[in-house]
């Protein structure tokens, strides 16, 4: 898959695609059906398949004080799009200038002028342009004269009959329901981040941890998780080295913490991870965060957590180039 920014000069073979447009946060099973529809149309037209997504997520621009909410970074989304067979990924820098583009100009200047789209796939609720004035109705009205096709994105329902949504997945993770999140994502939830210096308490307790800066990622339920951890290599996804692990997300009540952190202990690993980029894949929620009578009781529980994580992960297939999930 080739990745371009809208500000790039596009080669001729990066134009004329069948294009899916959206935030695609999480790239869940509903999004996967959109991608499958896009790829099918592209094959029929002999055109490349493409996705246009926005970075940062528009909510960060319009609601900067909102709590962290993202399900996936651009890097995670790009890996999943690549796994799903997308040919081209266009990234729009979502800033004030982009948000001010009138809906008609979005069609004329971006979809037609810059990308030269052959066909567009969007959801019925897709809105675009200044003050969200554009919608699928405007695209439908303009498509015939402009010479591009238009398809509504297929709807995918969950077991309750409601449309699969990123918000449903956020709610599941907020309660520690990693199973439901995995079902709706079509893969285990994954975050990535850079290892930063912590207070080194884990090492003092006999369980060294890597402290991750997870930026704007959603905060899941506080507690202990069985995770698989990828240490990113220079060869990208193919060079990632995977390790089983146990992770703690929360305030560290034993030590009167006030800031939520993600701390990851890699099983059977001894090495320096400071500055490394880690991929953390959440496989199971083991228990909630709690305060113990003393540090010795905490260490005893950590030993149990590590063994439980080891037991859970023994049943999880090995992770090779990354958790691509079920398409």
Give the C-alpha separation, 170 to 100, whole Å. 29
Q: Return the exposure string of 46-68: e unless at least 16 CB atoms fall within 10 Å of the residue's CB, then b.
A: ebbbbbbbbbbbeebeeeeeeee
d(CA 58, CA 199): 34
Residue 306 reports pLDDT greater than 70:
yes
Confidence (pLDDT) at 295: 87
Q: Please give the Cα distance from 273 to 166 (Å, whole number).
A: 31
What percentage of the chain has pLDDT greater than the value 70? 92
- Residue-wise pLDDT for 210-227, tens only, equals 999 888 999 999 999 999
Question: Strands 236-250 and 223-233, how do they pair?
Answer: antiparallel
Helix ranges (H only) for the chain are: 29-45, 58-62, 74-83, 96-99, 103-105, 136-146, 166-174, 178-185, 201-204, 295-314
Is it the case that residue 322 has pLDDT exceeding 50?
no
Count of CB atoms within 10 A of residue 219's CB? 16
Complete domains list, the chain, with CATH: 2-152 (3.40.50.620), 189-314 (2.40.30.30)
What pLDDT does 18 receive?
98
Q: What's the pLDDT at 197?
A: 81
Round to whole Å and give the CA distance between 157 and 113: 35
Give Cβ neighbours of residue 237 (< 8 Å, ≥ 6 apart): 79, 321, 322
Phi then psi dihedrals of residue 288, to 5 deg:
-80, 165
Spatial distance between the Cα atoms of 97 and 152, rounded to a whole number of angstroms? 27
Per-residue pLDDT for 17 more than 90? yes
Say if CB 282 and CB 231 are below 8 A apart: no
- How confident is residue 51, by pLDDT bands cut at 50, 70 and 90? very high
For residues 21-31, average pLDDT: 96
Confidence check: pLDDT of 323 > 50: no
Q: What is the mean pLDDT of the chain?
A: 91
What is the distance between the alpha carbons of residues 257 and 250, in angstroms, rounded to a whole number? 8
- How many alpha carbons fall within 13 Å on the CB side of residue 24? 31
Question: CA 251 to CA 258: how far, in whole Å?
Answer: 6
Local confidence band at 58 (pLDDT 50, 70, 90 cut-offs):
very high
Q: How far apart are CA 216 and CA 272, in angstroms?
A: 25
Residues with Cβ < 8 Å from 291, sequence gap 6 or more? Answer: 253, 254
| Arithmetic mean of pLDDT, 38-42 | 98
The answer to whether 283 and 313 have CB atoms below 8 angstroms apart is: yes
**In this predicted model, what pLDDT tens digit does every residue of 240-271 receive, in sequence order?**
899 999 999 998 776 766 688 999 999 999 88
For residue 255, give the 3-state DSSP assignment.
helix
Do residues 227 and 264 touch, judged by C-beta distance below 8 A? yes
Q: pTM value?
A: 0.91
Q: Is 90 helix (H, G, I), strand (E, B) or coil?
A: strand
Report the percent of the chain where pLDDT is more than 90: 75
Question: pLDDT of 132-174, one tens digit each?
Answer: 999 999 999 999 999 999 999 988 998 889 999 999 999 999 9
Q: Could you give the C-alpha distances from 102 to 42, 124, 127, 133, in angstroms and in order?
A: 28, 19, 12, 8
Q: Above 50 in pLDDT, residue 126?
A: yes
Q: What is the pLDDT of residue 77?
A: 97
76-93 mean pLDDT: 97
Residue 241 dihedral angles phi and psi, to the nearest 5°: -105, 125
pLDDT tens for residues 95-110? 999 999 999 999 999 9
Answer yes or no: is pLDDT of 236 > 70.
Answer: no
């Amino acid at each position: 898959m080739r990745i371009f920014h809208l500000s790039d000069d596009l080669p001729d073979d990066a134009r004329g695609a069948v294009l899916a447009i959206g935030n695609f946060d999480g790239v869940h099973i509903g999004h996967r059906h959109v991608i499958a529809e896009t790829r099918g149309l592209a094959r029929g037209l002999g055109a490349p398949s493409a996705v246009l997504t926005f970075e940062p997520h528009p909510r960060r621009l319009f609601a900067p004080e909102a709590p962290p909410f993202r399900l996936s970074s651009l890097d995670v989304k790009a890996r999943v799009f690549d796994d799903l067979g997308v040919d081209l990924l266009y990234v729009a820098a979502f800033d004030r200038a982009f948000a001010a583009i009138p809906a008609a100009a979005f069609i004329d200047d971006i979809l037609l002028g810059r990308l030269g789209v052959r066909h567009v796939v969007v959801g019925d609720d897709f809105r675009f342009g200044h003050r969200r004035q554009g919608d699928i109705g405007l695209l439908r009205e303009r498509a015939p004269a402009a010479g591009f096709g238009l398809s509504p994105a297929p709807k995918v329902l969950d077991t309750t009959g409601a449309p699969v949504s990123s918000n449903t997945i956020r709610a599941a993770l907020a309660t520690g329901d990693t199973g439901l999140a995995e079902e709706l994502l079509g893969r285990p939830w994954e975050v990535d981040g850079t290892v930063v210096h912590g207070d080194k308490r884990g090492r003092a307790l006999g369980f060294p941890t890597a402290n991750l800066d997870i930026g704007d990622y959603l905060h899941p339920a506080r507690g202990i998780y069985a995770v698989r951890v990828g240490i990113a290599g220079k060869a990208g996804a193919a060079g990632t080295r995977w390790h089983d692990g146990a992770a703690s997300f929360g305030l560290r009540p034993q030590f009167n913490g006030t800031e939520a952190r993600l701390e990851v202990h890699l099983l059977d690993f001894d090495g320096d991870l400071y500055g490394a980029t880690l991929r953390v894949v959440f496989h199971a929620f083991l228990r909630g965060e709690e305060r113990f009578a003393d540090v010795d009781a905490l260490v005893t529980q950590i030993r149990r957590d590590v063994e439980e994580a080891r037991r859970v992960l023994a049943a999880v297939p090995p992770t090779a180039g990354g958790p691509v999930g079920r398409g």
